[in-house]
């Protein structure tokens, strides 16, 4: 589905991505984790074609749509308009399938998206991306600024989406536990380089990795029992 | 450019400037160019440091010119006193008007200053005290008592002296405490504010100083061309000042001089060209307009910092992004990631 | 009373022209954050082109339509130049459009000379409420209303119009869904050209235009747009009408030469009074 080889991205003199390689197979849910500033967003933006590439290759079979970090609503427009605009590049502007998948959005269809809560906006952003009927969904920082329950709800929808439609998902996440919870495989990005890769199980229980890259997050996320009970 | 090279260059410029009037047959162009440099030096400072565009600087030129015209013709003041008052009145006018006006930013301020110019034009054309429909003529020659300037050359040197004063004041200003506040302003208004700079007062200050320079130029021109009316300050001339400021380099000391000289020479060259056979007589002003405009457009697209790149980029490197700030934004290289 | 009605009606007609020019400012600004100084110039171009076409015998209606379409193309050209460099800050683009307006003045002098021109308009007049109103002025009002309704339908109820609004609202997200933000900017300039052109074609039979007419038109149009905070089209219409009527009343009952000054003072007062809310709009 998506193969990135030796990708190099620069912002002026600074190197944001230094020969990054990763693959995402069809219908997989893969996570990309790492601390702030590691360059995670750069990968997603490079795949979406938003930023130029210095060298390396990105090969994508099919269409990708991005759920941007920070949601980026068309604030003065309704939820329905936001969704329909997601279909700008494709012919079919029918919103019904999205409402089937995310019923809450149907309830909010006439609301101005700028007036919605963070979680609701995130749902609109996901719905908007899905309107383009993508084969690959790139999600940049799903949980940013959202309450755990809200994030859990979104994660459930994404899992259902992947199961029912086979949509491939690449999830950029700072919140490590969410990432490993949702995705079977993950890459760890640090300072523009992939420093670890493997299944979530492997990475989750690798102590040296956790100490080096997740530090205090380990302690902070340990008592996350409520999240496990679903 | 080392200090000595700079000094030598300036010395050469001064000598050339001082000797030119002795060789040129008609000095109208020369005087107007030097006076434009005076106006634009102030404008370049304002636009560079406050980061806003003033499309109506002619309003303050008018203030200075009118001060001279009204006080000498209708109040019979001595010419030197009148000239001394010109920059003061212009600065005072700018201060009073700037209090409300400088709350505007970006294009609102640009249009606001333009509106100010047109309102001043209307007043000059209608209010009898300011010339009514006929303008004020019969302005006496500049001088002290019996000693008056008899010919154009005298005014050329007066204009040069004014330019020298302007440059000196500007230089000392920029390196003073006030200048530090102004430069802080150019970087980022919010940063300057948190550093304790009174943003409003600083902006007002530089606005008034630029106006004072413009008023001085206006005052001298009132003596040089002893007639002032509503037609004396067309909007297109104010636009030309902006063009000169942009070409010469915003926020720099010599930007005004460089811009004024380059654009004036361009205009003169075109006028001479249009006098050549084959072109209609109306071609002159048209070509001038077209050329100014084309130069402005090209300069803005390709050289948004002006023709003094080394100085500008040095200043620009110290600047952070500030919304609505001209040079700060112009100095930024567009990052590809958008 | 008769005089009053005449002033109000001609004020409304001129106000419609201001509103049309102002709507051009609004459209471009909404999509690109640029203030297009050439709005007045576009009106003058349309007036001149329709004058020439009518003089050559092109029938009424067709000449005006061609002139408007031509101005749309000129607007597009201006957009190409003003938006040519990615990431140009809006204030610099304003100055580029200022340069374009000066350059255009030169072109207009070259092609049409320096004298004011006035194409023939609709002849005759109607009697309304006891006052005689020229048919041309009625035409202005009718067309302006139709145009504004059309703009409203386009921006608020058509997919393409919503795309334009989205490009303005959040260029980042717009780019992600596949909207070509730069192309939207060019489209907005073309629309502004058409709007300015309509204004020019409508108002020039009653008010002769020359190369220098662009400045007062641009200022009045901008003043009308300021009423709408450079974003609301309906408020721009109201603003234009208010300015037009106020100007005509002042010209009729007071001194004629204060007409522009009054409009300018109103604009200044409005901008300064609302400077905070205007600044908030800009920051978005």
Identify whether the C-beta of residue C101 lies closer than 8 Å to the C-beta of residue C38: yes
Residues of A in contact with B334 (CB under 8 A): none
**How is residue C230 written in tokens?**
């450079």
Burial class of C123 by CB neighbour count within 10 A (0 to 12, 13 to 18, 19+): exposed
With beta carbons under 8 A apart, name residues in chain B contacting A45. Answer: 337
DSSP A115: G
Give the number of other Cβ atoms within 10 Å of residue C55's Cβ.
12
Q: What average pLDDT score do residues B70-96 get?
A: 90
Phi/psi at A78 (5° precision): -70, 165
Run of H or E including A24: strand A14-24
Q: In DSSP terms, which residues pair with A170 in a beta bridge?
A: A30, A138
Which residues in chain B touch residue A49, judged by CB atoms under 8 angstroms apart? none
Task: Give the position of tokens 């990054």.
Answer: A20
The whole-angstrom separation of Cα C193 and Cα C245 is: 25
B203 near B86, Cβ under 8 Å? no
**Chain B contact present for C272, CB below 8 A:** yes
3-class secondary structure, B319? coil
- pLDDT tier at B279, thresholds 50, 70, 90: low
Interface contact C176-A75, CB threshold 8 A: no
Q: What is the DSSP string of B166-213?
A: HHHHHHHHHTSHHHHHHHHHHH-HHHHHHTT--HHHHHHHHHHHHHHH
Beta carbons of B112 and C272 less than 8 Å apart? yes
The length of chain C, given as a count of residues:
284
The confidence band for B329, taking pLDDT boundaries of 50, 70 and 90, is: very low
Q: Which two tokens stand for residue A100?
A: 């089937």
Spell out which residues of chain B touch residue C105, defining contact as CB-CB under 8 Å: 236, 289
pLDDT tier, B325 (very low <50, low <70, confident <90, very high otherwise) = very low
C162 at A interface, C-beta within 8 A = yes
Which fold is adopted by the domain C2-116+130-283? ABC transporter involved in vitamin B12 uptake, BtuC (1.10.3470)
**CA pair distance C163, C180, nearest whole angstrom:** 9
Nearest to A165 by CA among A195, A134, A141, A192: A134
Closest CB from C103, C215, C272 relative to B101: C272
Most confident listed range (A47-56, B8-17, B202-211)? B202-211
Note whether C163 contacts A66, CB cutoff 8 Å: no
pLDDT at site B188:
65
Does the beta carbon of A11 lie under 8 angstroms from any beta carbon of chain C? Answer: no
Residue C284 has pLDDT above 60, yes or no: no
Query: Number of residue pairs across A and B with CB atoms under 8 Å?
Result: 12
| CB-based contact A51 B337, cutoff 8 Å | yes
Interchain pair B337, A11: CB under 8 A: yes
A44 lies within 8 A of chain C by CB: no
Which of A153-162, A208-217, C68-77 has the lowest average pLDDT? A208-217
Distance CA C134, CA C140 (A): 10
A-C interface: how many C-beta pairs under 8 angstroms? 53
Chain C residues 173-192 within an 8 A CB cutoff of chain A: 173-179
Q: Using an 8 Å Cβ cutoff, are C265 and C219 in contact?
A: no
Residue A49 in contact with partner chain C when CB distance is under 8 A:
no
ipTM for this model: 0.87
Average pLDDT over residues C27-38: 91
pTM of the model: 0.84
Highest averaged pLDDT of the listed ranges A99-113, B179-193, B205-219: B205-219
Question: Among A62-76, B155-169, C253-267, where is mean pLDDT lowest?
Answer: C253-267
Mean pLDDT confidence for B83-108: 92
Residues B232-253 have a mean pLDDT of 85
Q: What is the pLDDT of residue C87?
A: 65
């Amino acid at each position: 589905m998506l193969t990135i080889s030796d990708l190099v991205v620069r912002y002026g003199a600074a190197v944001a991505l230094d020969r990054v390689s990763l693959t995402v197979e069809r219908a997989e849910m893969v996570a990309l984790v790492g601390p702030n500033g590691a360059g995670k967003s750069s990968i997603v933006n490079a795949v979406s074609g938003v930023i130029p590439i210095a060298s390396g290759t990105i090969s994508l079979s099919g269409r990708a749509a991005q759920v941007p970090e920070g949601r980026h609503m068309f604030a003065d427009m309704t939820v329905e308009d936001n969704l329909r605009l997601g279909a700008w590049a494709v012919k079919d502007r029918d919103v019904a399938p999205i409402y089937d998948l995310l019923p809450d959005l149907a309830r909010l269809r006439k609301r101005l998206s700028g007036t919605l809560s963070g979680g609701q906006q995130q749902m609109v952003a996901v719905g908007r991306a899905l309107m383009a009927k993508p084969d690959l969904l790139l999600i940049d920082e799903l949980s940013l600024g959202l309450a755990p329950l809200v994030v859990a709800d979104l994660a459930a929808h994404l899992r259902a989406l992947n199961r029912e439609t086979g949509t491939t998902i690449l999830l950029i996440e700072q919140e490590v536990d969410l990432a490993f919870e949702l995705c079977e495989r993950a890459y760890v990005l640090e300072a523009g380089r992939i420093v670890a890769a493997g299944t979530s199980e492997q990475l989750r229980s690798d102590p040296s990795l956790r100490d080096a890259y997740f530090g205090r997050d380990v302690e902070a996320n340990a008592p996350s029992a409520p999240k496990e009970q679903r | 450019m080392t200090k000595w090279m700079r000094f030598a260059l300036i010395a050469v410029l001064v000598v050339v400037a001082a000797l030119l009037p002795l060789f040129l047959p008609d000095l109208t162009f020369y005087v107007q160019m030097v006076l434009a440099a005076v106006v634009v030096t102030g404008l370049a400072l304002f636009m560079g440091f406050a980061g806003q565009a003033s499309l109506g600087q002619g309003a303050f030129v008018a203030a200075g010119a009118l001060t001279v015209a009204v006080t000498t013709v209708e109040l019979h003041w001595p010419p030197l006193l009148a000239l001394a008052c010109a920059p003061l009145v212009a600065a005072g006018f700018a201060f009073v008007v700037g209090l409300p006006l400088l709350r505007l930013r970006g294009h609102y301020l640009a249009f606001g200053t333009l509106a100010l110019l047109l309102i001043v034009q209307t007043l000059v054309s209608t209010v009898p005290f300011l010339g009514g429909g006929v303008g004020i003529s019969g302005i006496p020659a500049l001088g002290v008592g019996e000693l008056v300037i008899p010919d154009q050359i005298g005014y050329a040197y007066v204009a040069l002296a004014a330019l020298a004063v302007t440059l000196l004041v500007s230089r000392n200003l920029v390196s003073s405490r006030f200048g530090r506040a102004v430069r802080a302003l150019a970087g980022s208004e919010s940063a300057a504010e948190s550093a304790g700079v009174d943003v409003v007062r600083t902006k007002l200050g530089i606005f008034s100083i630029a106006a004072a320079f413009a008023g001085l130029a206006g005052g001298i021109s009132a003596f040089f061309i002893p007639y002032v009316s509503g037609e004396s300050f067309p909007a297109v001339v104010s636009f030309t000042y902006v063009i000169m400021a942009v070409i010469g380099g915003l926020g720099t000391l010599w930007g005004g001089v460089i811009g004024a000289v380059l654009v004036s020479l361009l205009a003169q060259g075109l006028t001479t060209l249009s006098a050549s056979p084959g072109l209609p007589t109306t071609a002159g002003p048209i070509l001038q307009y077209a050329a100014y405009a084309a130069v402005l457009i090209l300069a803005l697209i390709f050289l948004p910092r002006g023709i003094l790149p080394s100085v500008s980029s040095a200043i620009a490197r110290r600047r952070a992004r500030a919304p609505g700030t001209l040079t700060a934004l112009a100095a930024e290289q567009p990052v590809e990631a958008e | 009373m008769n005089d009053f009605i005449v002033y109000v009606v001609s004020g409304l007609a001129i106000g419609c022209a201001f509103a049309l020019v102002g709507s051009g400012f609004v459209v471009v600004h909404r999509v690109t954050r640029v203030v297009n100084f050439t709005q007045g110039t576009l009106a003058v171009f349309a007036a001149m082109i329709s004058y020439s076409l009518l003089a050559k015998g092109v029938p009424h209606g067709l000449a005006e339509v061609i002139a408007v379409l031509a101005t749309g193309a000129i607007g597009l050209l201006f957009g190409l130049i003003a938006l040519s460099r990615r990431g140009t800050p809006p204030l610099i683009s304003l100055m580029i459009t200022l340069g374009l307006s000066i350059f255009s003045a030169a072109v207009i002098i070259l092609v049409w000379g320096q004298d004011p021109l006035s194409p023939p308009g609709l002849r005759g007049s109607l009697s309304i409420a006891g006052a005689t109103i020229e048919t041309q002025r009625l035409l202005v009002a009718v067309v302006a209303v139709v145009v504004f309704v059309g703009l409203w339908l386009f921006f608020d109820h058509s997919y393409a119009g919503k795309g334009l609004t989205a490009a303005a609202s959040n260029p980042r997200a717009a780019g992600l869904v596949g909207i070509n933000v730069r192309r939207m900017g060019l489209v907005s300039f073309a629309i502004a050209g058409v709007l300015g052109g309509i204004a020019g074609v409508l108002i020039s039979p009653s008010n002769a235009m020359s190369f220098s007419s662009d400045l007062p038109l641009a200022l009045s149009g901008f003043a009308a747009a300021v009423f709408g905070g450079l974003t609301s089209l309906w408020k721009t219409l109201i603003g234009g009408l208010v300015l037009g009527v106020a100007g005509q009343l002042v010209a009729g009952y007071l001194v004629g030469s204060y007409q522009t000054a009054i409009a300018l003072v109103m604009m200044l007062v409005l901008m300064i009074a609302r400077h905070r809310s205007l600044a908030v709009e800009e920051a978005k």
